[in-house]
Amino acid sequence: MKHYLASFAVGLLLFGAAQPTSAAVLERGPYLQTPTSASMVLKWRTDTPTDSVVNFGDAPTNLTSTVSTPTLTTEHEITVTGLAPDTRYYYSVGSSAETLSGGNSGQFFTTAPVPGTTKPTRVWIIGDSGTANASAAAVRDAYKTSTGSTVTDLWLMLGDNAYPDGIDSQYQAAVFDIYPDLLRKIPLWPTLGNHDGHTADSATQAGPYYDIFTLPTNGEAGGLPSGTEAYFSFDYGNIHFVNLESYETDRSPGGAMMTWLANDLAANDKEWVIAFWHHPPYTKGSHNSDTEGRLIDMRQNALPILESHGVDLVLSGHSHSYERSHLIDGHYGHSSTLTGAMVLDNGGGRETGAGAYDKPVGGTNAGAVYAVAGSSGKVSGGSLDHPAMFASISSLGSMILEVNGNRLDAQFIDESGNVDDNFTIIKGDDTTPPIINKTEADDASSVTVTYSEKVDVTSAQNIANYAIDNGVTISAATLAADERTVTLDTSALTEGVEHTLTVNNVDDIAGNTIAANSQSQFTFVVIQTKDFQDGVAPTTAYAGTRDAY
């Protein structure tokens, strides 16, 4: 009532003065919801009720298209439709009386690509971010510095988005006041955490969480209609995203959510499957997936369905740490029941290390990576020793995911901007050529070259494919059992001289050829070693005292 009186009074002023006066204050947003290849939902809040107007166009100064609704409201929601896929639109929001925000280079939205097509896609992932404090701001700023001018396509928020109870004012502080510039240009996909659930009701889709977010119930953004905003799926290019509700929705095997999940995944034809929800199936952080019911339920009931339909990556929060698994499959029991057979690749998935995780296209039960990214607002310790994990890190931070065709790259970036973990999954045929990871002189007549991935034995052992400068000749090349390391027998190396190795025509096992004239430097250094032994005096050129112990 108070708002209506205020609006009426301002209206009288407008008529009386016949001059545009600022009639409303933008309190929230604009923010972007449910992106599709043809539409975008824009939402914002004003302090007084006005009508709703969105202007948009191909440049900040050319917002020639308009969508409006006459209803006076403080909770503005406009769905812009009829858009071109994978296209950037600049926009403004406001009322018929005034523009409140936009018409500048920082306010734009980008539609999703045509479903099924391939587009390099960048996703920012934060979990348990809702502290509204300096820690959340530091994580945000580290991400912004890291990403620079690179456009982020999507944003996942893994639950506990607004502490302590997910009420509207806490959402204002923890989401709208922390990320205002990002909300204007990156469509946000949230999931419900337990703290959000304090004031939300998933059964009726009521409460602040469900009021604030406009999420698909009818397959609007792809996937099988779920009938509820609590859980749903959506497509972005060649990625199928699944959002589950792990707090207060029935998690039982025959329940509506798990039944929908199985049907949704059976109908999916997108290359990548990425699932997210709040309660992690594997964690030894501030929560324990061996003892807590919701975590056990999701592991036992959702994972078999997801894995049998080829899920690639599962993202959760709840534990306020970063934990990232090996490539695993079929681990549904307590942590003590993890077997070697369930770990399909324990190398870490790094191309600079043991190599990317490889998966077949359309493979089922071919392995998935499970990540807990719940330290975007605080860290809370824990034993951090779940055996499924390759990395367990107690640092503030967030994840950046990049999917490009048959390749997925993920990073965990801490609040100082350091990349503390990374991994890569490559689907199907390998199209990445090998690179030289390092070259070292083992002794005065042999040099070891390590490639980023397994290489073809014939090309790797052909000495014509190698050259060393400064007159050093190569008499043999031998590929080790790991298929990544080649030892070159050389003419005598001179100590302290830096050499350059040049490699050509070495193929990986899929036939991709190393970049022409790939080079790597090495220096032969004689490492002086001497054994000191209790009670035995060094014999030569030793001026120190004898060890007395």
Output 113 or 166, the one with its CB closest to Fe ion.
166
Decide if residue 421 touches Fe ion (CB under 5 A).
no
Stretch that binds Fe ion, among 19-27, 54-62, 74-82, 310-318 (CB under 5 A): 310-318
Q: Which of 147, 194 has the CB closer to Fe ion?
A: 194
Residue 115 or 193 having the CB closest to Fe ion? 193
Q: State the Cα–Cα distance between residues 280 and 295, nearest whole angstrom.
A: 6
Q: Please, what sign has the CA dihedral across residues 148, 152, 156, 161? A: positive
Per CB under 5 A, the segment of 85-93, 311-319, 339-347, 357-365 that binds Fe ion is: 311-319
Q: Which stretch binds Fe ion (CB under 5 A): 137-145, 192-200, 436-444, 473-481?
A: 192-200
Interface segment toward Fe ion; rule CB under 5 A; list 2-10, 193-201, 206-214, 353-361: 193-201
What percentage of the chain's residues is helix, strand, coil (to nearest 5)?
15, 35, 50
Closest C-alpha to 284, from 236, 314, 323: 323
3-class secondary-structure state, position 104: coil
Residue number, 160 or 358, with CB nearest to Fe ion: 160
| Nearest CA-CA partner of 280 in 325, 249, 218 | 325
- CB-based contact 234:221 (threshold 8 Å): yes
Q: How far is the CB of 138 from Fe ion (least distance, A)?
A: 20
CB of 398 to Fe ion, least distance (A): 16
To Fe ion, the closest distance from the beta carbon of 196 in angstroms equals 9
187 forms part of the interface with Fe ion (CB under 5 A): no
Among 153, 160, 196, 312, binds Fe ion (CB under 5 A): 160
Size of the site for Fe ion (CB under 5 A): 4
Q: Within 13 Å of residue 83, how many CA atoms lie on the same side as its CB?
A: 29
Nearest CB to Fe ion, comparing residues 319 and 459: 319
Smallest gap from Cβ 193 to Fe ion, in A, equals 5
**Minimum Å distance from CB 10 to Fe ion?**
42
Residue in 366, 361, 364 with CA at minimum distance from that of residue 328: 366
Nearer to Fe ion, 43 or 318 (CB): 318
Contact 340, 382 (CB under 8 A): no
Q: In the complex, what is the shortest distance from the CB of residue 282 to Fe ion, in angstroms, rounded to a whole number?
A: 15
Instruction: Give me the residue whose beta carbon is nearest to Fe ion.
Output: 318
Strands 419-427 and 357-359: parallel
Q: Pick the binder of Fe ion from 193, 281, 349, 382 (CB under 5 A).
A: 193
Nearer to Fe ion by C-beta: 194 or 462? Answer: 194
Smallest distance, Fe ion to C-beta of residue 421, A: 21
State the nearest-atom distance from the C-beta of 318 to Fe ion, in Å: 4
CA dihedral defined by 10, 16, 19, 21, rounded to 10 degrees?
A: -10
Closest to Fe ion by CB, 193 vs 367, is 193
Closest contact distance (angstroms) between CB of 279 and Fe ion is 7
321, 284 contact by CB (below 8 A)? no
CB-nearer residue toward Fe ion: 113 or 130? 130
Beta strands 108-110 and 154-157: pairing type?
Answer: unpaired
Query: Which CB sits closer to Fe ion, 73 or 194?
Result: 194
Could you tell me which of 74, 111, 116 has the C-alpha nearest to residue 240? 116
Distance CA 425, CA 427 (A): 7
The residue to which tokens 């190599």 are assigned: 355
In the complex, what is the shortest distance from the CB of residue 128 to Fe ion, in angstroms, rounded to a whole number?
6
Q: Does 166 bind Fe ion (CB under 5 A)?
A: no
CB 317 within 8 A of CB 278: yes
Give buried/exposed letters for 336-360 (b at 16+ CB in 10 A, else e).
eebeeebbbbeebbbbeebbbbbbe
Stretch of 187-195, 395-403, 407-415, 499-507 lying at the interface with Fe ion (CB under 5 A): 187-195
Tell me if 318 contacts Fe ion by CB under 5 A: yes
In this structure, are strands 397-404 and 327-328 parallel, antiparallel, or unpaired? unpaired
User: If DSSP codes are grouped into helix, strand and coil, which group holds residue 128?
Assistant: coil
Report the SS3 class of residue 501.
strand
- What minimum distance in Å lies between the beta carbon of 55 and Fe ion? 39
Cα–Cα distance measured from residue 249 to residue 278, given in angstroms and rounded to the nearest whole number: 12
With contacts defined by CB under 5 A, name the span among 25-33, 113-121, 155-163, 250-258 that binds Fe ion: 155-163
- Tell the smallest beta-carbon distance from residue 186 to Fe ion (Å): 23
Give the pair of three-digit tokens for residue 342: 């369930």
Q: Is the peptide bond before 120 cis (omega within 30 degrees of 0)?
A: no
**Which tokens is 84 given?**
């071109």
Residues 249 and 252: their CA atoms lie apart, in Å, by 9
Which among 11-19, 164-172, 188-196, 263-271 is the span making contact with Fe ion, rule CB under 5 A?
Answer: 188-196
**Site mask for Fe ion (CB under 5 A), range 49-78, x = bound:** ------------------------------
- 194 binds Fe ion, rule: CB under 5 A: yes
Report the residue number, 160 or 415, with the smaller CB distance to Fe ion. Answer: 160
Q: Which two tokens stand for residue 66?
A: 């308009």
Nearest distance from C-beta of residue 159 to Fe ion, angstroms? 6
Window of 91-99, 129-137, 152-160, 402-410 that interacts with Fe ion by CB under 5 A: 152-160
From 44-52, 116-124, 316-324, 346-354, span contacting Fe ion (CB under 5 A): 316-324
Report the C-alpha gap between 140 and 189 in whole angstroms. Answer: 16
**Binding residues for Fe ion, per CB under 5 A?**
160, 193-194, 318
